[in-house]
Amino acid sequence: MTKWVYGFGGGGAEGSADMRDLLGGKGANLAEMSSLGFPVPPGFTITTEVCTHYSETGGAYPDSLEAEVEQALAGVEEIAGARFGDPQRPLLLSVRSGARASMPGMMDTVLNLGLNAETVKGLTAMSDDERFACDSYRRFIQMYGDVVLGVAYHHFEDLLEDHKLDRGVTLDTELDADDWRLLVGAYLKKAKEILGQPFPGNPKEQLWGGIAAVFRSWDNNRAITYRKLHGIPDDWGTAVNVQAMVFGNMGNDSATGVCFTRNPSTGENAYYGEFLVNAQGEDVVAGIRTPQSLTIAEREASHTDLPALQEVMPDIYAELLEVRRMMEGHYRDMQDMEFTVQQSKLWMLQTRTGKRTTNAALKIAVDMVDEGLIGVDEAIRRIDPAQLDQLLHPSLDPSAERKVLGRGLPASPGAASGRVVFNAEDAEGLAQKGEDVVLVRVETSPEDIGGMHVSKGILTTRGGMTSHAAVVARGMGVPCVAGAGEFRVDYGEKIMEVGGTVVREGDVITVDGATGEVMLGEVPTIHPELTGDFVKLMGWADKVRTLGVRANAETPADAETARKFGAEGIGLSRTEHMFFEPRRIVHMREMILAADEGERRAALDKLLPYQRQDFVQLFTIMAGLPVTIRLLDPPLNEFIPQSEEGLAEVAAAAGIDVSAARARAALLKEGNPMLGHRGCRLGITFPEIYEMQARAIFEAASEVAKGGEKVVPEVMIPLIVTRGEFVILKDVIERVAAEVKEATGVRVEYLVGTMIELPRAVLLAGDIAKAAQFFSFGTNDLTQTTYGLSRDDTAHIVEIYRDKGLFKDDPFASLDTEGVGELVRIGVERGRATRPDLKLGICGEHGGDPASVHFCQKVGLDYVSCSPYRVPIARLAAAQAALGVKVETNA
């Protein structure tokens, strides 16, 4: 029989940390902590399988669930020494969500469950504090009303605000027991008014209502959006954790907080956290009051006067230090923990692997190797390759002038400028128009994630380093300044004010998430140098990986970047990109619109020196590393002038009249250019084009070789479908190479190979390999032609297919391993069968996608090639592939 419920508490547990699929992360770790002897309030976890059952049956439970819950609840009552629903000694419960992957704040939790008109009296007697009991009761009505019954939060907030106004107070803490008692009455009345029936007082009914609400919250919009953004499968489901309440709001010897075993922003090996005295649960993350630091060091660093936990509760701090030591020793990774102090007794409520910035991740991994906690392989495994992207975020140019408006907490690194918007919806609207936006909020909530995602930067005026805005922004790699208290935001007027300056919606500001500074206007940024822990870890990765990593680059700047990021050569240099510059494009157009070979050669002669100079630069920068040069590939009509001025300019350069130029342009028009006159078909119809390009390559190579530098050009012919085409063009290239050698007396080693980017080329790979010395899988075109989908025009279709679950991922971003990938595999097999030493690479966008890199390793490619900025990502992904790290591929 399937077991649906797992108990924990009292120094033991039925579950453990390795059962996260079944118990969710929170449940598995509550069990683990309990077994390890940490003080965990007793409770039980209802498995994720029940969630799946619930979804599949439209809201029904397995038959034996109720009995299992009853039994587990009895166990909790036994350990807690209180009974659920008992008017004298009532046990109160929290009902908490918790999926396999952490989804902070995306799903629901209800606290203080079990309160009603009777039990609140028991709670008053037990605590000898009516204020506390009534406050807990109204919190429960508010949370349960909102989460379970759908009575919006603001109904209750309004009542509270009105009451405070009547009483002439501003803070919740100024209200006494009488106030809260009155408010409880008002809340209950309000709920009844809206629901048309009384607020449920029966604790069992409350419990099952809470459980169902958590299961339902798996499918709320923000959870769905979060899963989509983070690639979490919809069918995982959440577990439900039911746990005895402990109270951080039982007076000044009570508190609640969160702590990280190391600093999640910098990675520094120092305790880091925030807490609030006399507060409950979500008060810290919600940013309702500004929290205090855990340690004195941190308090001093943040220049606040609020005392640290280390000062106000030294004994609890000492206990937490011991918790930190044991947690890191056990989990061997940085932990993010929730704790609550109830009348000077410490309780641990959650631990999970802490989210961190990329810099922190690198530092922690490298430090932990040095400390002997983990090995080098584990350090490599720990870093998410996609996360390295964050390191490439720009920072403010230190020499640039700046007008600092004010400061907040440096919550997520990187600097960004953009137009100010005051809500998530406006952020999405403006971003869609292509504008850079900075989202400014008093505080953010999970509803805002869509808007946060499209923002270049985020600024909040309330909340700490662990507030919602800070945590989510760090995860997304969006620069964020949080808790900038000197700023006053007016949502109604859509303005914010600081030190006499008024910033309106649409004004440009700059936020620096590394320093917490907020500036007026756009401040120029610079790209960081990659040093220290990054270099060390990448060095380890390079030792482990077997797959080569090259870059797609054609300009000197790109080539420099590629080398800086550790590329081992160029895997794709798109020669057509060298012609876009205004002075060159005229001659390019002249060449395209030429009436005959003579005119074409005349235009090509003008292009030759430019092209040669480009190659000299590339070869020099790449200093002996292989450089793959693809001969002209694009549909010619991409270069046809669209405007009259353009036509006139070309006509003048070519010495023909405009009407002739216009007529030739019309002749070149194609209905389906992507499947038309492009790639090697240009070389077949106009061999002189490839001839010129080959000449430029070999003359440049000889020039650089003469200077003593090693040069290894790999000449690549695009869009081949038959060996015959390839042989004709290879002959052209070899002839030119021989001529240049003859003329210069310099011998240059080179290879001639082909792109494999059409299904026919894959199928005939064995034959093509008889002539080709290398293959580079052009998976962009191969994906287009395999799916019959144009990459340029079908983004919205792909989106719809993903929403309907027809495509797991965008096949243009992550290689479709079962379709396009299968073609790559066949191409590899057939090519290598003919020519065992055939050099194999990939040069589509996929070369920088970690999951695709894993696939390339699996099918035995020699290298991947990707855009320069993704080279570090590919290097790390390749190392992880070599270590056998599992990834979700797009299939």
Please give the distance of CA 815 from its chain centroid, rounded to a whole number: 18
Q: Contact between 841 and Mg ion (CB under 5 A)?
A: no
**Half-sphere CA count of 823, side-chain side, radius 13 A:** 26
Q: For residues 340 and 359, which CB has a smaller minimum distance to ligand ADP in the complex?
A: 340
Q: Report which DSSP code applies to 723.
A: H
How far apart CA 353 and CA 20 sit, in angstroms, is 12
**One of 468, 587, 846, 854 is an active-site residue; which one?**
468
Beta strands in 388-462 (DSSP E): 395-396, 403-407, 409-412, 415-421, 437-441, 457-460
Q: Are 320 and 313 in contact (CB under 8 A)?
A: no
Nearest distance from residue 318's CB to Mg ion, in Å? Answer: 24
Q: Which residue is nearest to Mg ion (CB)?
A: 781
Beta bridge pairs of residue 844 = none
Q: Which of 28, 246, 768, 815 binds ligand ADP (CB under 6 A)?
A: 246
Residue-level length of the chain: 891
In the window 807-836, what residues touch ligand ADP (CB under 6 A)? Answer: none
Based on DSSP, count helices (H) and strands (E) in the chain, helices before strands.
Answer: 33, 34
Q: Contact between 281 and ligand ADP (CB under 6 A)?
A: yes
Q: Contact between 96 and ligand ADP (CB under 6 A)?
A: yes
Query: Which of the choices Mg ion, ligand ADP, none does residue 875 contact, using the CB cut-off of 5 to 8 A by kind?
Result: none
Q: Which run of H or of E encompasses 186?
A: helix 177-195
Q: Are 627 and 551 in contact (CB under 8 A)?
A: no
Q: Which of 119, 293, 340, 359 binds ligand ADP (CB under 6 A)?
A: 340
How far apart CA 132 and CA 172 sit, in angstroms, is 12
- Taking CB under 6 A as the rule, which mask of x and - marks residues 349-368 in contact with ligand ADP? xx------------------
Q: Are 59 and 35 in contact (CB under 8 A)?
A: no
Q: Where are the alpha helices (DSSP H) in 755-870?
A: 759-763, 765-768, 779-787, 795-803, 820-834, 850-858
- 50's tokens: 């029940």
Residue 564, Cβ neighbours under 10 Å: how many? 14
How far apart CA 123 and CA 114 sit, in angstroms, is 11
Query: Which of the choices ligand ADP, Mg ion, none does residue 96 contact, using the CB cut-off of 5 to 8 A by kind?
Result: ligand ADP
In the window 313-352, what residues touch Mg ion (CB under 5 A)? Answer: 350
- Taking CB under 5 A as the rule, which mask of x and - marks residues 728-757 in contact with Mg ion? -----------------------------x
Q: Are 201 and 119 in contact (CB under 8 A)?
A: no
**One of 480, 843, 856, 866 is an active-site residue; which one?**
843
The values of phi and psi at residue 401, to 5°, are -75, 145
Nearest distance from residue 281's CB to Mg ion, in Å? Answer: 9
Nearest distance from residue 45's CB to ligand ADP, in Å? Answer: 12
Q: Near Mg ion by CB under 5 A, which window of 485-493, 510-518, 567-575, 772-780? A: 772-780
Encoded amino acid at 884, one letter = G
Q: Is 843 labeled as catalytic in the residue annotation?
A: yes
Size of the site for ligand ADP (CB under 6 A): 17
Q: For residues 391 and 449, which CB has a smaller minimum distance to ligand ADP in the complex?
A: 449
- 714's tokens: 């790999």
Nearest distance from residue 633's CB to Mg ion, in Å? Answer: 6
How far apart CA 810 and CA 696 sit, in angstroms, is 38
In the window 22-81, what residues touch ligand ADP (CB under 6 A)? Answer: 41
Q: Report which DSSP code applies to 455.
A: -
Nearest distance from residue 846's CB to Mg ion, in Å? Answer: 13
Instruction: Provide the terminal-to-terminal Cα distance of the chain, rounded to the nearest Å.
Output: 33
Q: For residues 203 and 827, which CB has a smaller minimum distance to ligand ADP in the complex?
A: 203
Size of the site for Mg ion (CB under 5 A): 4
Query: Which of the choices ligand ADP, Mg ion, none does residue 105 contact, using the CB cut-off of 5 to 8 A by kind?
Result: ligand ADP
Nearest distance from residue 719's CB to Mg ion, in Å? Answer: 6
- 22's tokens: 């079944």
Q: For residues 333 and 338, which CB has a smaller minimum distance to ligand ADP in the complex?
A: 338
Q: Contact between 338 and ligand ADP (CB under 6 A)?
A: yes
Q: Which of 206, 243, 776, 867 binds ligand ADP (CB under 6 A)?
A: 243
Query: Which of the choices ligand ADP, Mg ion, none does residue 455 contact, using the CB cut-off of 5 to 8 A by kind?
Result: none
- Taking CB under 6 A as the rule, which mask of x and - marks residues 109-128 in contact with ligand ADP? x-x-----------------
Whole-Å CA distances, 873 to 387, 530, 807, 847? 8, 13, 24, 10
Residue 252, Cβ neighbours under 10 Å: how many? 10
Q: Which of 94, 292, 573, 575 binds ligand ADP (CB under 6 A)?
A: 94
Q: Contact between 91 and ligand ADP (CB under 6 A)?
A: no
The values of phi and psi at residue 104, to 5°, are -55, 120
**Between β-strands 292-293 and 517-520, what pairing exists: parallel, antiparallel or unpaired?**
unpaired
Q: Is 53 labeled as catalytic in the residue annotation?
A: no
Q: Which of 475, 635, 778, 811 binds Mg ion (CB under 5 A)?
A: 778
Which chain residues interact with ligand ADP by CB under 6 A? 41, 94, 96, 104-105, 109, 111, 243-246, 281-282, 338, 340, 349-350
Residues that are catalytic: 468, 843
Which chain residues interact with Mg ion by CB under 5 A? 350, 757, 778, 781
